[in-house]
Copies of this chain bind each other. A is one copy, B any other.
Amino acid sequence: MTRDDGRARLWDLPYPSGGGGRPRREQYSPGAMRDVRMRGFRERTSVEDAVALLERRTTALATESVAVRDAVGRVAAESVRARMPVPHFARAAMDGWAVVGESTFGATTYSPASLRVVGDARPGRPYSGAIRLGEAIAIATGAPVPDGADAVLMAEHGEWVGTDAVRVHSPVPPGKHVGPVGEDVQAGDVVVRKGRVLRPQDAGLLASVGVGAVAVVRRPTVRVLITGDELMPPGSTPEGSRIVDSNGIVLDALSRRDGVVTCTIEYVRDGRLEVESALAGAQEDVVLVSGGSSVGPEDHAPRVLSEIGELAVHGVAMRPSSPAGFGFLGARPVFLLPGNPVSCLCAYEFFAGPTIRALGGLPRAWPHARRSAPLASKIVSELGRVDYVRVKLDGDRVAPVMTSGASILSSTTIADGVVIVGADREGYREGETVTVLLYDPWGAIT
């Protein structure tokens, strides 16, 4: 992802830390696999190192061709040049009469020029002949200006005399209201640069220059493995010791936000063989494992991943989501997301989201709308740890949400967004200005 205007570093920022700048990539050293079940994490990887590892190990997927109408939001896999100009003929920029400008020189209210109207030109129905001095044709916006004509008199500035003449009260300089060939795009112009996230108008411009299909980065597929005997799919009623899974819904929606084309949710029973079978069977570009990533007796995913693939990070210096991890099956990333719903959301945003966007060619940077405002009360963190702090906008101030346990999903529905406290800070003081990453795009409007 490159840009012309020097903002590449900003776009590349892997996460919106309160400070610290670029990840110090040279500091990463993957730890040897340890079985941490029921013994806890001895050391945790820093968020920066974890993110830097993902940046090194993941890159955009292959290219595919899509129709321009389907290209909006996709990422151009190559630059596209115009093979022809837009417009490819001189066109009227106004409704009125095409004239030879010289015919109108000296025209005034007291001594108007009268031009003979010899035909008309409408878009798609050009006037086939040429006009001469003293002649005009009625012309509509967008129609080709006929040979001989070099200006357009606006409808409001001329006056029909009968049905075959127009009276002109002031001169029309040559070139007036004529859009020349290539006014919008010249043949050979770069219409779209490689890496561009295509906007509606980019797709429109591609169509204008005669491009029907465009090479874009393929969108990733995702499989979500929801592990846990206690979990029932959405639509079930909680009963006994069983609860309804919410992580699948959240991960489905977030991954679609980040450009995923299909997200398949699979429920997996607790058990080493079940987890291994599900992981080994996943064919998607990305696997998200929800639950079973920590140090409990049923937390099989880290060990299974280390055996059938590679466990690169397990345990991160952050709150929530400290049991998060990730690794690879071949080149395909596998994210181990804690089962607690806030931890799952948080670990997705820090690790899976940027990677999924990058696979589809999008910027790794978080896509949230932002708003800066002073804190209504302090936020306490720890040096060396990154915190994901849910906050509420309270008038012109930002208030941390008090019920902040990792299992309290309602803390993220009460919140308007989050403040990220970087590892280089012990927190923020009351009154200090912080940047809120908003959960809702309309929350940014002030």
Write the chain B residue with the least CB distance to A85: B238
Q: How large, as a class, is the contact surface on chain A?
A: 35 or more
B207 near A245: Cβ-Cβ < 8 Å? yes
B204 near A409: Cβ-Cβ < 8 Å? yes
Which residues on the B side are within 8 Å of A95 (C-beta)?
38, 294-297, 299
Identify the interface centre among A203, A246, A412: most chain B CB within 10 Å of its CB.
A246
A253 near B88: Cβ-Cβ < 8 Å? no
Interface string of A286-299 (1 = CB under 8 A from B): 00000000111111
Interface membership of A243, Cβ < 8 A: yes
Write the chain B residue with the least CB distance to A88: B238
B142 near A230: Cβ-Cβ < 8 Å? yes
Q: A69-B252, A253-B203 are in contact. Are A296 and B141 (CB under 8 A)?
A: yes
Which residues on the B side are within 8 Å of A257 (C-beta)?
200
Identify the interface centre among A141, A156, A341: most chain B CB within 10 Å of its CB.
A141
B365 near A13: Cβ-Cβ < 8 Å? no
Which residues on the B side are within 8 Å of A394 (C-beta)?
5
Spell out A's residues near B (CB within 8 Å): 5-7, 10-11, 13, 16, 38-40, 67-69, 72-73, 84, 86-89, 91, 93, 95, 120, 122-126, 138, 140-144, 154-156, 160, 179, 183-185, 189, 191-192, 197, 199-205, 207-210, 212-213, 228-231, 234-238, 240-250, 252-254, 256-257, 270, 294-299, 339-341, 345, 363, 365, 367, 369-370, 392-395, 405, 407-410, 412-413, 439-442, 444-446
Instruction: Pick 15 A–B contacts, CB within 8 A, sort by A.
Output: A10-B445, A72-B256, A73-B253, A86-B238, A88-B243, A125-B241, A138-B297, A144-B241, A183-B407, A192-B413, A201-B246, A201-B412, A204-B250, A369-B370, A444-B444
